Structure 1
Amino acid sequence: MKMKKAVELLRREKQVKLAYLFGSAARGDAGKLSDIDIGVYLDDSLSEEQRFKLQLELVSKLASALKTDKVDLIVMNDAPLLLNYNIIRGGKPLKSEKQAKVKFEAAVLSKYLDRKPSIDRHTSLRLARIAEKGFS
């Protein structure tokens, strides 16, 4: 019921074009200490400052709707590529404006596929270093 209020809130926000629930809440394995991870893609016309202000407002409203202060709101316009890819891949849509969805997801997937060989190589080297030297 709480999530329904959050979804309604996000759908009423005209500047929010896309919203995804991701992380443990989306996977269904959230525990008592888990936060609620939500990614939002905001209208392209907003400046960085306007996006930040809206992020603060949304966190407050979502915390109230969800009755928890454990809300982690990611503005996908400003998020790293790999995080956006993982949100799109494993997240559950809460709000989706078709044109924005097609444009944003196509851009993220295109960039991800272009950089995947580099990402895989970096990950492989990092894991090899950890295996050799540990986490120190």
Structure 2
Amino acid sequence: MIVRSATDADVPALARVATSSYASGFRDILEPETLASRDEAFFAQRFAGELASLRVAEEGGRTIGFSKVTDTHLDMLFVDPAAQGTGGGGALLAEAEARGVRTLECFRDNAAARRFYERHGWRLARAYERDFLGKSRAFVFYEKP
């Protein structure tokens, strides 16, 4: 498993991973039309301007996941659904923690993500609702002691 900085050449693969992860991980949380708006073109455009904050997980030369970090906050951590359980998420999280990441937010109802973070020593700090894509949504905020 390799975790490295993202480059322009990674954008299509990152967009593919983000799209499949959104569709798989949030299908019971977000509406179908909301999920449809988060397609590869959406993510490719977004990631093109954020390469410095992105890290890529590769296995055998194939992009299997990525993380996005702002300061000490983990903004995104997605692993291709076909590669979940292979260590990519753990490698990305460890790399982010080594760079000083100490907080993250996820959907309250994303049970798989919550189990993953809690297995890695993250602690629930608070639950709340906030606007996300025009609707009030339930979130949880985690901290790493």
**TM-score, normalisation: structure 2:** 0.28
Larger helix share, 1 or 2: 1
Larger radius of gyration: 1
Higher relative contact order (CA 8 A, sep 6+): 1
**TM-score, normalisation: structure 1:** 0.29
